[in-house]
Amino acid sequence: MTSTDTTRQPRPAAGAAPAIELRGLHKAFGPVRAVDGIDLVIQPGEVVAFLGPNGAGKTTTIDMLLGLAQADAGDVRVLGMDPTRAIAEGRISAVMQSGGLLKDLTVGETVELTASFFASARSTSEVLARAGIADIADRRVEKCSGGQQQRLRFALALLPDPELIVLDEPTTGMDVEGRRDFWTALRADAERGRTIMFATHYLEEADAYADRIVLISHGRIVADGSAAQVKSLTAGRIVSATLPGLLADAPEVAALRALPGVLDLEVRRDRVILRTSDSDGVARHLLTQTAATDVEITARGLEDAFLALTGDTQTDTTGSLS
């Protein structure tokens, strides 16, 4: 992830306006509060994953971001303007989850037709090449695989050369190869400095392709930061070590428990297992102040962070350690 950071060349921002600015966003469907107070600012050039389980409010937020839905309360600004205007000017494009294609057209016709809607558009051959589907321009849309259709949607999104692309669960229903090809195309484009926000419930996608992860659950943002930060938010890392002749009420254990950042401690035979936000401090203490051997530090996966933060499943921390 850090390697993408260094190769990216953010495009000079047109003015100082953030790419996306959501303030106090609320949207309810009857008694269901789909979006329950979202504040989010995304700067030009960022690649942001909008991560959450199904029903977390991702699609509703994206609909409001694109002007497809009206917020009950709150404010949406895209590149400093109203979403409808940003769309009319081709500054923002979207790749939706499914649908939105006429099955009886060919891939090339779909691109040419969509290009005609914009005052100025990139060439058909260029966007097809960028999306990696130049070889299937003459194929009917209905004959394309899910992955090919999704890359076609991506090609359409590239037409107005937008400053911002929003993708709603772009790889849902794709096979492994389709997903890989899709992300290859998207990543190549992101390196040109476009702002990208994608919703996903695939943790590995968020981890692998985003600079920043915004975790959403029950219509609220529960975490926001780099993948590493989001992971550490659930209590960072696990440090474990073997202490010969260890007893649960030994003074070493009390000293470990008192270390700054330690959140949880468990003793299993002669092995002590700690959950800590300061793994370095714990390791230093173990190695310098005790006779600990076999010290192990493991990062908790994003999966753990996801489950713990979204609170949909009550995670049993001791269970995950065994």
Rule CB under 8 A: is residue 143 a binding residue for another protein?
no
Only segment of 31-39, 98-106, 227-235, 304-312 that touches another protein (CB under 8 A): 98-106
Does 104 engage in binding with another protein (CB under 8 A)? yes
Encoded one letter per residue, x for contact with another protein by CB under 8 A and - for no contact, window 155-194 reads -----xx-x----------------------------xx-
* First-to-last C-alpha distance (Å) of the chain: 30
Q: Does 249 bind another protein (CB under 8 A)?
A: no
Smallest separation, CB 195 to another protein (Å): 12
Candidates 94, 174, 213, 283; binder of another protein (CB under 8 A) is 94
Q: Hey, which residues between 188 and 247 contact another protein (CB under 8 A)?
A: 192-193
Work out which of 21, 89, 224, 278 binds another protein, going by CB under 8 A.
89
72 binding another protein? (CB under 8 A): no
11 near another protein, judged by CB under 8 A: yes
Nearest-10 Cα torsion for 153, 156, 162, 165: 0
Q: What is the dihedral of CA 171, 198, 150, 106, to 10 degrees?
A: 170
Minimum distance, C-beta of residue 98 to another protein, in the bound complex (Å): 7
The amino acid present at 131, given as its one-letter code, is A
Q: What's the min distance (Å) between Cβ of 82 and another protein? A: 11
Q: Does 90 bind another protein (CB under 8 A)?
A: yes
Q: Which window, 124-132, 143-151, 174-182, 300-308, contacts another protein (CB under 8 A)?
A: 124-132
The only residue of 93, 148, 234, 310 in contact with another protein, by rule CB under 8 A: 93
If the CB atoms of residues 118 and 320 are measured against another protein, the closer one turns out to be 118
Distance, in Å, from the CA atom of 99 to the CA atom of 118, rounded to the nearest integer, reads 21
123 binds another protein (CB under 8 A): yes
The three-state DSSP-derived secondary structure of 149-215 is HHHHHHHHHHCCCCCEEEEECCCCCCCHHHHHHHHHHHHHHHCCCCEEEEEECCHHHHHHHCCEEEE
Residue 123, helix vs strand vs coil:
coil
Torsion of CA 124, 127, 131, 134, to 10 degrees: 30
Lay out the sheet containing 237-242: strands in order across. 262-268, 271-276, 237-242, 293-299
> What is the rounded distance in angstroms from the CA atom of residue 308 to the CA atom of residue 322?
17
Q: What is the Cα gyration radius of the chain? A: 24
Q: Which is nearer to another protein, 91 or 179 (CB)?
A: 91
Q: List interacting residues with another protein (CB under 8 A).
A: 11, 14, 66-70, 87-91, 93-94, 96, 98-105, 109, 112-120, 122-123, 126, 129-130, 160-161, 163, 192-193
